[in-house]
Structure 1
């Protein structure tokens, strides 16, 4: 059995440190995952050129309130929604076009036990859990624990975020005006993962190992389920004929918004934000 430090080096994570006091994987064989009812959508990450961070497209600024992101005020941007979810834009110097990176889940009361149990269910798919730290503009130190998959061309498996303190310290949805958008967007209505037809069954099995659901679609709670109108996000997996696939994975996101505005900002975003990430 390798130590967590050795595994950490293999994972090539440079900034955060591995969690202390990890138990060996054998000690987690019987640890259950957090129940399906506890799942919460956290955010979707999109990698963008640095020029996007410095000056977001006018079409995006026209319809959304865009603020500095958590990673670095000069290297990331975010769009926060009233349901507690958000879009995270990370600057990458080498990129010429925006690219979908991944999606994150959290749970109502997640623990590092959940992280270790997850790694056991999909051996080789997830890295060692790490603790990440940032200092807010007001000087508050914010910590959370993260479990990331080893990314492939698919970027399909979710990564997991569990806050050490109030989530509002990391996700600033309570800041005045931050979730008010000209387009009327309130949150994430649906997230659809489109894969090749031959990959659909295997994709659902992998999701079942992670989430516990092998259905064609399922419903996860948002971080603030007390508001009935904003409480749920539908997630689905669909097989598509290869001739219609632009890449191995396409992700479609529909935002909660007044019905007459959905198509308007969707077309704009679909063209200006990211290949492989379509909002409509």
Structure 2
């Protein structure tokens, strides 16, 4: 399998206008939240929780919510590569891997050519990037529609910087990466899939990440780095549904990210509740 260093980038969490303008106390009391700015086109805006490892959480809000808002969103979480690898090269590598062995597990996943995006940050500077978004088809092993109540969210998207990364993610500023909770980065992103589908989604994520996973307690884990640190710093864990609660989550939120753990200065992971922000 071709190798390429893939990094954890960020999670996209959707907030209503009320939540966005008056953040829940458990967020504002535990994290330093900064104003990210307004996206190009003026339809949406964000706030950011930035960690010292170079990853972040994006608190996303529609200023004007278009009818096709689901199609406009790239996905629930993003990976990235660093400057030496372009968005175009990344898309080509992933699409080729998904079309080869182990491929997409017969689920019907590929990646579309890059599309440019941007926003104007709180200081008035333009921030620009390219998104490489997963595309989906109905294939022989695609799970049933009941597993996609929010549309298809099988795979992450990629966000590649055009302007310097530290303009989009100001992890070089100590004032924004110090959090009351002691959070320092993303430790674990868990992806939940239907029971019996683990091997197929292992193939998908192995193709996307370009690495072989480790097996762990009936799940698989991909060790990834973060843009601001050296060495491995976090995991994507893929597991299939085993409990009634898992099955209920799949019915309500669908295949995709189901839980998030943050790394902390104390060494104890911090659970970040994400279910209500997956819309």
| Counterpart secondary structure, 1:90 | strand
Residue 259 (structure 2) pairs with residue 252 (structure 1): yes
Comparing 179-188 and 231-240, the one that deviates more = 231-240
Counterpart position of 2:76: 102
Q: How many equivalent pairs are there? A: 232
Match of 2:163 in 1: 165
Q: From 41, 47, 50, give the equivalent of 1:77.
A: 47
Counterpart residue number, 2:12: 45
Per-residue deviation at 1:171? Answer: 0.9
Question: For residues 128 and 11 of structure 2, what CA distance do their matches in structure 1 show?
Answer: 19
> What's the C-alpha RMSD, in Å, of the aligned pairs?
3.0
Q: Do 1:193 and 1:252's aligned partners in 2 also have CA atoms closer than 8 Å? A: yes
- Superposed CA offset, 1:125-159 (max 9, x none): 32331122333333433322211123763413121
Q: 1:261 to 1:190 in 2, by over 3 A?
A: closer
Q: Mark the CA change 1:71 to 1:158 in structure 2 (over 3 Å): closer, same or farther.
A: farther
The alignment status of 1:143 with 2:110, answered yes or no, reads: no
Aligned 8 A contact 2:182 2:266 in 1: no
Deviation at 1:242, TM superposition (A): 5.6
Cα distance in structure 2, aligned partners of 1:134 and 1:217: 33
Corresponding residue for 2:217? none
Unaligned 5+ runs, structure 2? 66-73, 100-108, 137-147, 214-219
TM-score, normalised to structure 1's length? 0.72
- TM-aligned CA deviation for residue 161 of structure 1: 1.5
Residue 91 of structure 1: how far off its partner (Å): 1.2
Higher helix share goes to which structure?
Answer: 1
Tell me the secondary structure at the aligned position of residue 177 of structure 2: coil
Preserved CA contact (<8 Å) 2:6 2:224? yes
Residue 63 of structure 1 is matched in structure 2 by 30
Q: TM-score, normalised by structure 2?
A: 0.72
2:227 counterpart residue number? 223
Matched ranges for 1:120-139 at <5 A: 120-122=96-98, 125-139=110-124
Residues 48 and 89 of structure 1 are in contact (CA less than 8 Å); yes or no, is this contact kept in structure 2?
yes
Corresponding residue SS for 1:186 = strand
Offset from partner CA, 1:136-187 (integer Å, 9 cap, x none): 3334333222111237634131211221232101112223411111010000
Q: Which of 18, 21, 25 is equivalent to 1:54?
A: 21
